[in-house]
C-alpha cells in the first residue's frame, strides 16, 4: 500500500505518534510519504523529552520513509529545508495525494482551514465525481456554516472509547 500522511499539527505527541505509525507501516512493507504543511513545518520546535519527534522522524527516514516540507510554508517562517526534510511544492503535495492508496490528514486544534481539510475530499472526488459526502475516521466533512464540524465525532453515545498505549 502507498500511504500519504499530511501533517499540520504542532502537538509533539501527535506528530511523534504519526511518525511511529509511518515507521510501522514501512516495516509492514508499505511505502510512506509524509508532507509537512502550515505549522507542521515547525517540526524542529516540537521535540520534548517525552516525545522525541526528531529522533522518530530520523527512524522513519532510516526505514525508507520520505518527508516532504512545504516550501511556501517555510518561506513564510523565514526558514529552509534540512537534510532530513527537503523542500517541496503544492504540485508535490497533489502528487502525493493522487498517488497514495490512502491519505491520512493529521491536525490538532480548533482552527480548521476548510480548504485544507477538504483537500483530500476534493482529490477523492476527482476519481469518484458522483460522491457528495465523505465520512472518514468517524468524523464529518466540515460544512460552510459549521467549519468546526470536522472535529465532531459521529459516535453513538453508548460506544465507549478505549485507550491503547504502546
Paired with 74 in beta bridges are none
Look up cell 472509547; give the residue. 161
Pairing mode, if any, of strands 139-140 and 135-136?
Answer: antiparallel
Measured distance CA(76)–CA(31) in Å, rounded: 30
- Residue pLDDT, tens place only, 63-82: 999 999 999 998 988 887 77
What pLDDT, on the 0 to 100 scale, is given for residue 154? 39
Count helices and strands in the chain by DSSP H and E runs: 6, 7
What pLDDT, on the 0 to 100 scale, is given for residue 116? 42
Decide: pTM greater than 0.85: no
What pLDDT, on the 0 to 100 scale, is given for residue 95? 94
What pLDDT, on the 0 to 100 scale, is given for residue 162? 42
Phi, psi of 112 (to 5 degrees): -105, 125
| Domain regions of the chain by residue span | 2-109
Reference 61, options 88, 43, 34; nearest CA is: 34
* Rounded to 5°, angle at Cα 17 from 53 and 133: 130
Q: Which three cell numbers stand for residue 118?
A: 477538504
What pLDDT, on the 0 to 100 scale, is given for residue 50? 93
Where the chain has pLDDT below 70, the residues are: 108-166
Reference 108, options 10, 2, 26; nearest CA is: 10
Q: Which three cell numbers stand for residue 24?
A: 510501522
Looking at the domain 2-109, which fold is it? Hypothetical Protein Ychn; Chain: A, (3.40.1260)
Amino acid at each position: 500500500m502507498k500511504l500519504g500522511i499530511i501533517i499540520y499539527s504542532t502537538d509533539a505527541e501527535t506528530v511523534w505518534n504519526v511518525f511511529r505509525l509511518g515507521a510501522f507501516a514501512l516495516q509492514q512493507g508499505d511505502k510512506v510519504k509524509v508532507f509537512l504543511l502550515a505549522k507542521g513545518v515547525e517540526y524542529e520546535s516540537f521535540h520534548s523529552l517525552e516525545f522525541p519527534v526528531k529522533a522518530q522522524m530520523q527512524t522513519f527516514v532510516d526505514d525508507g520513509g520520505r518527508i516532504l516540507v512545504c516550501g511556501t510554508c517555510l518561506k513564510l517562517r523565514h526558514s529552509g529545508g534540512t537534510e532530513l526534510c527537503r523542500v517541496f511544492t503544492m504540485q508535490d503535495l497533489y502528487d502525493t495525494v493522487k498517488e497514495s492508496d490512502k491519505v491520512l490528514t493529521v491536525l490538532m486544534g480548533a482552527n480548521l482551514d476548510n480548504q485544507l481539510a477538504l483537500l483530500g475530499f476534493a482529490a477523492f472526488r476527482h476519481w469518484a465525481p458522483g460522491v457528495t459526502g465523505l465520512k472518514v475516521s468517524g468524523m464529518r466533512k466540515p460544512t460552510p456554516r459549521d467549519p468546526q464540524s470536522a472535529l465532531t465525532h459521529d459516535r453513538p453515545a453508548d460506544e465507549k472509547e478505549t485507550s491503547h498505549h504502546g
